[in-house]
């Protein structure tokens, strides 16, 4: 487990809230402290943390790995930040991209030719976790002269058929 400042601050907030709640039941400080220390991890991991994950768009992030990309397509969104923000594929050829990401899943629309362009490769990244998330994350790589010019991430609404 990684002890980040955000984790420690949120754990302290939960401890204070549990302390205030237990204090309403009994005024003995040693008992209130003991019960609060025991209950805080339970309240944090079984109530606070799940609620945060349901109502926020926070998700784990991973470094890009070609094997994980191909083996677990539903978890590709975890690698998307590094791909888009660091632009790790800029200047790579189509064959290098196909080796790393696999065959493109669909071609993007190009208004200049009024058709799907073989220079706009799209990949499904899956759905980010969240209770109200109805949008699928997608990655688009745009090529010029068979080299990646840019990579962007966009959302596509889930359609039930």
Q: How far apart are CA 100 and CA 112, in angstroms?
A: 29
All domains of the chain in start order, with CATH: 5-55 (no CATH), 66-157 (3.30.1450.10)
Q: pLDDT tens digit string along 43-75?
A: 988 888 888 777 776 666 788 888 888 888 888
Q: Note whether 121 and 108 are within 8 A (CB).
A: yes
Mean pLDDT of 93-98: 90
Q: Name residue 142's beta-bridge partners.
A: 120, 150
Residue 1 in this model has a pLDDT that exceeds 70: no
Residue 94 in this model has a pLDDT that exceeds 70: yes
Q: Band of the pLDDT at 161, cuts 50, 70, 90?
A: low
What mean pLDDT value characterizes the chain?
A: 85
The model's pTM: 0.63
């Amino acid at each position: 487990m990684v002890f980040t400042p955000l984790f420690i601050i949120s754990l302290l907030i939960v401890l204070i809230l549990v302390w205030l709640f237990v204090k309403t039941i009994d005024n003995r400080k040693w008992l209130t402290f003991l019960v609060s220390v025991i209950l805080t991890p339970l309240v944090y991991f079984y109530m606070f943390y799940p609620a945060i994950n349901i109502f926020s768009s926070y998700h784990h992030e991973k470094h890009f790995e070609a094997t994980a990309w191909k083996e677990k397509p539903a978890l590709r969104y975890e690698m998307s930040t590094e791909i888009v923000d660091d632009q790790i594929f800029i200047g790579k050829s189509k064959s290098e991209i196909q080796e790393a990401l696999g065959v493109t899943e669909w071609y993007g629309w190009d208004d200049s030719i009024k058709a799907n362009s073989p220079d706009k490769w799209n990949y499904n990244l899956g759905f980010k976790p969240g209770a109200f998330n109805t949008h699928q994350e997608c990655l688009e790589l745009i090529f010029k002269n068979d080299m990646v010019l840019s990579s962007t991430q966009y959302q596509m609404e889930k359609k039930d058929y």
